[in-house]
Amino acid sequence: MLVGWLALIGVAQAEEEGEWPRGHYPLPEEGNVIGDTYTVTVENYDDTLLDIARRHNVGYREIVRANPDVSIWIPGEGTEVTIPGRFILPDAERTGIVINIAELRLYYYPKVDDSETPRVETYPIGIGREGFGTPLGVTETTMNIKNPAWYPPESVQREARARGEEAPSVVPPGPDNPLGDHAIILGFDGYLIHGTNQPDGIGMRASRGCIRMFPGDIESIFDRVPAGTQVHIVNQPIKIGWDQEQPLVQAFPPLEEEGHSKSALEDTVTRLNQRSVEGLSFDYEQLRGLLDDPSGRMISLNPKPEPDRKHDTIYKGIYAEIALRRS
């Protein structure tokens, strides 16, 4: 409990001083965009891109996508590294914990007093690898366990036997425990939010379905997430943001291999065109390129070009059908 109170005191003090802990943001009064993208300069030759990501609250895929030309293991002293610290809030109720598995990111909306500024905290996560999907839907936290023991499931024991090894029946707390030092049990049977003894896997699909967090991140929320906290797990690979009436789109590679579906594109266009009554229109060709190459970068959509013969010919296939139907 002492750790939880200290965390709350730290947040309150930071707010009074006009500073917020990394990953904590006041909820926007308008729109749904938080944070900023910025750059840092590598000062230590021994730093890897993953070290920098961890210090700046981003995961593996986020830092790699934002810096495609920077070496993961030896960025090099003096190299500029982009930190993708601007986020579109998921399209979900802003209460409890919201996890967007497509984004590999968790959002926590703590309860605040009337005198406090409503806030959101966001953290990178690891999720289930292929064949071990993280379940979707609404559940709640049921129990918080410090220094948990890990009981390898039958699937782990089968894999060990196939390698000619014998999996332990239980892994006690300690450095070999894949749950780390903190675990939050969910109402979905067998699924947890937990720490890890392999932090380089945060921001990747590497677990057996559970949600992994950096050890320091889960420690920071552990005593502030009571049993019964709502947890909403969504899969939103395409997010739409609004910042001072500027439309923003962020597209992540879908978890399925076939790419973004036609229905996902239609839904994106529909949500964008909800603003068309205010005189806004969008460049669907730019949107097509964004969804064809979903890099996770946040892109400002351009206004729709003035119609001309050349432009009329660039809409092809389902893009032509959707753009013409929605415009």
Instruction: Given the residues 194, 232, 260, 311, select the one marked as catalytic.
Output: 194
Taking alpha carbons only, the member of 232, 155, 217, 219 closest to residue 186 is 232
Which residues have a Cβ under 8 Å from the Cβ of 216 and sit 6 or more positions away?
none
Alpha-carbon gap, residue 302 to 291, rounded angstroms = 15
Looking up tokens 């709350």 gives 8
Question: CA-to-CA distance for 59 and 85, rounded, in angstroms?
Answer: 11
CA dihedral 318, 239, 258, 289 (to 10 degrees): 50
Q: Look up 194 and say whether it is catalytic.
A: yes
CB 256 within 8 A of CB 205: no
Distance CA 24, CA 268 (A): 28
| From 24, 182, 210, 232, active-site residue | 210
**Is residue 119 within 8 Å of 105, Cβ to Cβ?**
no
Q: Which residues are catalytic?
A: 194, 210
